[in-house]
């Protein structure tokens, strides 16, 4: 399951998508809307995506995880629209026979999502001003799959 | 050759529209397209920023050739999560 949604994310959808009798672990990650960025008060976040390509890129990340860890049950859902503080913007679930691989693969999925999935967020500051995150990042090159350690922020 | 180009997020705001028509020579590449788009929308991105282009839902290289009917999108730096 790889999905861009406007609906509230509960986590049940991704968990159910990966569950199975051979799983010894299901690692679940939620990204939530934080009330500040580097100390500046955030009122809310606004997300948008290019849904068909975003879902395709999520599926590619799952394929990378399958190649790296041999895990075939990964689910990712990302919400778009206006999200309030504390709401879930993204959920990732990975099922694995043992927890170590699941934790690693789940972290990898989020690192890659932040690199290659066409989703954008805009901070709405307390004074109502808005700002796209990383507006002119020079480091951003054509983000193709690669085997080196992913960047994190 | 007439191509339709979509803008997302930051680029949509800077372009002032979500889609535009761009005229390029037959056999034009992504780099050719970007030159034309940057002329039409000089404020899109600073000159040292490489604008990323998706063609038919896949990231494209500067030398990727374009065809009529391609779905072309300009992709600002992504920031999901």
For residue range B15-67, list pLDDT tens digits in order. Answer: 999 999 999 999 999 999 999 999 999 999 998 888 999 999 999 999 999 99
Whether residue A143 lies inside any domain: the answer is no
What was the ipTM of the complex prediction? 0.95
Q: Does A87 touch chain B (CB under 8 A)?
A: no
Whether residue A144 lies inside any domain: the answer is no
Whether residue A136 lies inside any domain: the answer is no
B2-75 in CATH: which number?
3.10.20.30
d(CA B29, CA A103): 41
Domain of A29 in residue numbering reads as 2-7+22-129
Q: Is residue A25 packed enough to be buried (19+ CB in 10 Å), middle (13-18) or exposed (0-12)?
A: middle
**Count: domains in chain A:** 1
Q: Is residue A43 packed enough to be buried (19+ CB in 10 Å), middle (13-18) or exposed (0-12)?
A: middle
d(CA A7, CA A91): 12
| B13 C-beta neighbours (distance < 10 Å), count | 17
CB A88 within 8 A of CB A31: yes
| Contact check, Cβ <8 Å, B61/A142 | yes
**B17 CA to chain A: closest CA distance, Å?**
15
CB A105 within 8 A of CB A69: yes
> Which one of B45, B49, B59 has the shortest CB-CB distance to A144?
B59
pLDDT at A148 over 90: no
CATH number at residue A75: 3.90.1170.40
Whether residue A150 lies inside any domain: the answer is no
Residue A138's pLDDT band (cuts 50, 70, 90) = low
- The residue written with tokens 């705001």 in the block is B13
């Amino acid at each position: 399951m790889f999905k861009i949604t406007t609906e509230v994310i509960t986590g049940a959808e991704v968990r159910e998508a990966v569950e199975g009798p051979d799983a010894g672990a299901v690692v679940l990650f939620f990204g939530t809307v934080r009330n500040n960025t580097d100390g500046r008060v955030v009122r809310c976040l606004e997300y948008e995506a290019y849904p068909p390509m975003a879902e395709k890129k999520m599926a590619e990340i799952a394929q990378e995880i399958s190649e790296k860890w041999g895990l075939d049950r990964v689910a990712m859902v990302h919400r778009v629209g206006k999200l309030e503080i504390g709401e879930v913007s993204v959920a990732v679930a990975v099922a694995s026979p043992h927890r170590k691989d699941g934790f690693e693969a789940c972290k990898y999925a989020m690192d890659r999502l932040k690199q290659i999935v066409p989703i954008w967020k805009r901070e709405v500051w307390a004074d109502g001003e808005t700002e796209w995150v990383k507006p002119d990042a020079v480091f951003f090159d054509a983000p193709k799959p690669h085997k080196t350690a992913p960047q994190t922020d | 050759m007439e191509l339709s180009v979509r803008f997302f997020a930051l680029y949509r705001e800077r372009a002032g529209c979500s889609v535009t028509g761009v005229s390029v020579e037959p056999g034009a590449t992504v780099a050719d397209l970007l030159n034309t788009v940057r002329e039409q929308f000089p404020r899109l991105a600073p000159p040292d920023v490489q604008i990323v282009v998706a063609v038919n839902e896949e990231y494209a290289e500067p030398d990727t050739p374009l065809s009529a009917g391609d779905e072309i999108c300009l992709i600002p730096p992504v920031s999901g999560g």
